[in-house]
């Protein structure tokens, strides 16, 4: 890395409050070298967005698809599975979209990783970003490094409250609030980051007065092209439990991110 890029990276790390960082190679996918940072839950989402754009992703996305849903293994109907795979793969290839998940090697997160793995255009890699609670990552202790590469060999976990990382993700953001084996501690940060990335692309406009010549748009979502670098972000929901409900609430109610529900 050139000196000026290293200096910029160090400055962003300091501004974000990065606790550890490095790269991960996976026993199950030796061709993938994922980058990661570990941050506090109150880290500046504006700075993390800047870090994503300047350090990890060379091209600004035209769309961000945030996927949430069942963390347990389940079997989607074959016809729906084919449609889901085909649709998600096509959208990411044709739009240069980023995909955000919880990053674990279970449930819908594992399925999304498998879809990205079969990307036919290796010259245009898909950014698959996992945002997870640090204390829920199996073997998180080995990721407590500063710039080193970690060989990650865990593919299963028998411990309740933790799961291994999905090996096709290209970047990981670990939210560390000091807890261990308590899922969902990253949900608020993830929703705030997605809202920051969207730049208010979808926002609720206030109602106009009865004397105005403009129509009333109360409770409707409208495009806000005047915002600086807005990017549409959509939440894709595939089954799920209590933490999925929390994720939807944080995204839709608190941060104006639209959601699409996929019946699996």
Rounded to whole angstroms, how far apart are CA atoms 135 and 130? 14
Residue-level pLDDT at 204: 53
State the Cα–Cα distance between residues 166 and 129, nearest whole angstrom: 10
- What is the pLDDT at residue 76? 77
State the pLDDT at residue 71. 80
- Identify each DSSP E strand in the chain by its residue range: 20-26, 29-39, 64-69, 98-101, 127-133, 146-152, 171-175, 202-204, 221-223, 233-238, 259-262
Nearest to 36 by CA among 47, 46, 25: 25
Q: Residue 45, CB half-sphere, CA atoms under 13 Å: how many? A: 16
- Per-residue pLDDT, 226: 38
| Torsion of Cα atoms, 11 then 15 then 17 then 18, to 10° | -40
Q: What is the pLDDT of residue 142?
A: 95
Q: What share of the chain is helix, strand, coil (3-state, %, to 5)?
A: 35, 25, 40
Question: What residues have CB less than 8 Å from 27, skipping those under 6 apart?
Answer: 151, 152, 153, 155, 167
Phi-psi label, residue 228: left if phi above 0, alpha if psi -120 to 50, beta otherwise:
beta
Q: How far apart are CA 184 and CA 68, in angstroms?
A: 12
CA–CA dist 109, 98 (Å, integer): 14
- Residues 247 and 184: their CA atoms lie apart, in Å, by 8
Cβ-contact 32, 72 below 8 angstroms: no
Q: Are 20 and 172 in contact (CB under 8 A)?
A: no
Blockwise average pLDDT, block size 10, the chain, 264 residues: 83 97 93 96 97 92 93 77 85 89 94 82 82 97 97 86 95 97 96 94 55 40 50 93 94 94 78
Provide the whole-model pTM.
0.88
83: tokens are 């449609």
């Amino acid at each position: 890395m050139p000196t000026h890029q290293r200096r910029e990276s160090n400055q962003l790390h300091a501004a974000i409050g990065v606790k550890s960082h490095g790269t991960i190679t996976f026993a199950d996918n030796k061709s993938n070298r994922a980058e990661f940072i570990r941050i506090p839950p109150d880290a500046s989402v504006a700075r993390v967005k800047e870090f994503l754009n300047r350090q990890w992703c060379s091209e600004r996305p035209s769309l961000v698809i945030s996927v949430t849903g069942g963390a347990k293994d389940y079997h989607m109907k074959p016809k729906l599975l084919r449609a889901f795979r085909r649709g998600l793969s096509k959208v990411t290839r044709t739009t240069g979209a980023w995909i955000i998940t919880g990053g674990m090697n279970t449930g819908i997160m594992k399925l999304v990783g498998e879809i990205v793995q079969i990307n036919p255009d290796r010259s245009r890699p898909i950014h698959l970003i996992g945002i997870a609670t640090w204390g829920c990552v199996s073997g998180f202790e080995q990721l407590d490094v500063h710039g080193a590469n970690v060989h990650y060999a865990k593919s299963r976990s028998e411990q309740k409250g933790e799961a291994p990382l999905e090996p096709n993700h290209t970047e990981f953001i670990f939210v560390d609030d000091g807890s261990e084996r308590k899922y969902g501690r990253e949900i608020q940060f993830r929703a705030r980051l997605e809202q920051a990335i969207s730049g208010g692309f979808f926002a609720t406009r206030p109602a106009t007065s009865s004397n105005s010549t403009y129509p009333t748009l109360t409770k409707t979502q409208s495009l806000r092209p005047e915002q600086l670098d807005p990017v549409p972000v959509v939440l894709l929901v595939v089954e799920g439990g209590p933490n999925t409900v929390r994720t939807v609430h944080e995204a839709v109610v608190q941060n104006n991110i639209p959601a699409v529900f996929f019946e699996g």
